[in-house]
Amino acid sequence: MTQQEIFALLHYVGAVTTNTHAVYTSGKHGSMYVNKDALYPHTKETSALCRLIAEHFANRDIDVVVGPALGGIIPAQWIAYHLSEIKGNEVLCVYAEKAQDGFVIKRGYDKFIPGKNILVFEDNLTTGGSIKKVIEVVRQLGGNVIGLGAFCNRGNIQPADIGGIPELFSLVNITMDAWDPEDCPLCKQGVPINTSVGKGREFLEARR
């Protein structure tokens, strides 16, 4: 799949909306909106994207895929499934869940980590803060993080930003313009605000 085909797929399921006038959670405005949750009801498309990540890492020695709850669980499962198919041996999948100060791997899944080669997954990289904590917990348990797969790198995150992992592979890299409302060129042009994504509706209500 080319980058264009990946974008077309993300657009089709509503995970990426372009040429719009969106209000982000931060209050800033922009012309693009990413809603990763829109992908997962579509299992065929989710599987297809995860296949690309599995193919990228297929020549690496991987025992377990780890994704953070909630957003990372479904794709981590698909990636482990495709890796198992491609490599002909079982690649496991477990998830890390939020704890008071970071993440924890429990439910008996922690026993799959020590001494194993781990591929970590994050659907959407913005600051990299969460996945860095997942990487830390894997390392604390004695796992060897061989790389990170992602659908979307929005923050130009580099391996050094998240604990110096050997490799970071993202299907798409996006840089999104974000303007304060008073500087927003779309507001100046009178482009209607999209009220079906982000905080558009709240923004218009507050302005009334």
**Least Cβ distance, residue 194 to Zn ion (angstroms):** 10
Please select the residue that binds Zn ion; options are 186, 197, 199, 200, rule is CB under 5 A.
Answer: 186
In the bound state, the residue with its beta carbon closest to Zn ion is 184
Nearer to Zn ion, 98 or 188 (CB): 188
**Residue among 145 and 197 whose Cβ is closer to Zn ion:** 197
Among the candidate windows 103-111, 113-121, 132-140, 186-194, which touches Zn ion by CB under 5 A?
Answer: 186-194
Alpha carbon distance 30, 162 (integer Å): 27
**Binding-site member from 28, 29, 82, 199 for Zn ion (CB under 5 A):** 29
Q: How far is the CB of 181 from Zn ion (least distance, A)?
A: 6
Return the residue of 116, 184, 199, 200 that touches Zn ion, per CB under 5 A: 184
Query: Could you tell me the smallest distance in angstroms from the CB atom of residue 180 to Zn ion?
Result: 9
Measured from the Cβ of residue 109, the count of other Cβ atoms closer than 10 Å reads 18
Tell me which of 126, 187, 194, 195 binds Zn ion, using CB under 5 A. 187
Question: Which of the stretches 21-29, 44-52, 125-133, 168-176 binds Zn ion when contact is defined by CB under 5 A?
Answer: 21-29
Task: State in angstroms the smallest separation of the CB of 49 from Zn ion.
Answer: 30
The nearer residue to Zn ion, 29 or 51, going by C-beta atoms, is 29
Q: Are 6 and 171 in contact (CB under 8 A)?
A: yes
Determine, following the binding rule CB under 5 A, whether residue 199 of this chain makes contact with Zn ion. no
- For 81-94, b/e burial (b = at least 16 CB within 10 A) is bbbbeebeeebbbb
- Binding residues for Zn ion, rule: CB under 5 A, are 29, 184, 186-187
